A and B are shown apart, each in its own frame.
Chain A
């Protein structure tokens, strides 16, 4: 299980603004360590964001995403108090889900 994410969800006008900071090494598999050995790739492959259980955002990521990725997006149809849950899965099968409630504007 990965480290916790930092999630903020608040109202921006009629939309819900979601900001997520994920803790992940995001090793590309291209880098070498001090001894010259390749550092194995380790990165998030799938991200899913659910709003009250319904998927509002899903993404397939690759090794070019930075370490500790930051995700920011807006969607329509939410209101304060709604539940936002975010799940990522990485290429080693590790998984992490965190959730929060939408804050008022």
Chain B
């Protein structure tokens, strides 16, 4: 099924740009502009702001003392400087994995419990999506400036670069297959050229984002997970074997609109 869809996508991408395509693009842009104000994402932000201050976990403390990289409890601008190396965990962490670390060290959750439910599904809201919405919103409009000085950060960068060009899965796709050339599209979506720092910066800062089709705020991790899933790569960690089937759980929910 996914294979057929991808084949169709590639076929469509080969059709040259016409004026109809440009009209559609303009319409999509108008629609996105409309969603800028009063986006339902703001509801997630409010929820996340409350969660950040709520005492939870076995130790019954809040996340307010969590160090997101700019010092204990500093939220403003923190997202714009992630992922980065954290000495306390000895790892390079993005916001989602940093939250897991804080939930374990501060709130006393077990690592397995802290990692649960990263993506919401109908009737099952995700704390992570709310927290990420809130924290990322405190960096709105800032320039993305992830540090790249610690050896571990450089190592993470190099692993990421390898993965970007690594072809894998039943379709033998790499990220670079779709995101390594300018002007590519999947159906109506323009694909960002991720090897261009300007475009990468622009697209990265549009996440987390409210997806109307899923009725949820999705994080950058979800974006990556979904890309891998759509390419038929069954597991987030593509080298782990045997891999369980890819379950895009929000897809199994009723699709009928209201």
Contacts and interface: CB of A to CB of B under 8 A. Distances in A.
A92 B215 CA distance: 22
Contact of A21 (B43, B215, B254, B256): B43
A34 B46 contact: no
Given A6-B43, A67-B258, A70-B38, A34 B215 contact: no
A60 interface: no
Given A33-B253, A33-B254, A67-B215, A3 B38 contact: no
Interface string A6-29: 101000000000010111011010
A4 B254 contact: no
Nearest to B249: A34
Given A6-B43, A19-B38, A21-B43, A39 B254 contact: yes
Size band of the B side of the interface?
Answer: 10 to 19
Contact of B254 (A3, A25, A31, A67): A31
| Main SS class of interface, A | loop
A63 B257 CA distance: 12
Main SS of chain B's interface residues? loop
Contacts of B38: 6, 8, 19, 21, 70
B47 A4 contact: yes
A3 B252 contact: no
Nearest to B37: A19
A11 B230 CA distance: 47
A22 B38 CA distance: 10
Interface in A53-103: 63-64, 66-68, 70
Contact of B258 (A8, A32, A64): A64
Interface residues of A, number: 24
B40 interface: yes
Given A66-B258, A67-B258, A4 B253 contact: no
Contacts of A32: 254
B129 to A, nearest CB: 13
B196 interface: no
B50 interface: yes
Contacts of A23: 40, 43, 46-47
B96 interface: no
Given A21-B38, A33-B253, A4 B258 contact: no
B253 A34 contact: yes
Given A34-B252, A67-B215, A70-B38, A3 B258 contact: no
20 contacts: A3-B46, A4-B46, A6-B38, A6-B43, A22-B43, A23-B43, A23-B47, A25-B123, A26-B258, A30-B256, A31-B254, A31-B256, A33-B123, A33-B254, A39-B254, A66-B258, A67-B215, A68-B40, A68-B215, A70-B38
Interface of A: 3-6, 8, 19, 21-23, 25-26, 28, 30-34, 39, 63-64, 66-68, 70
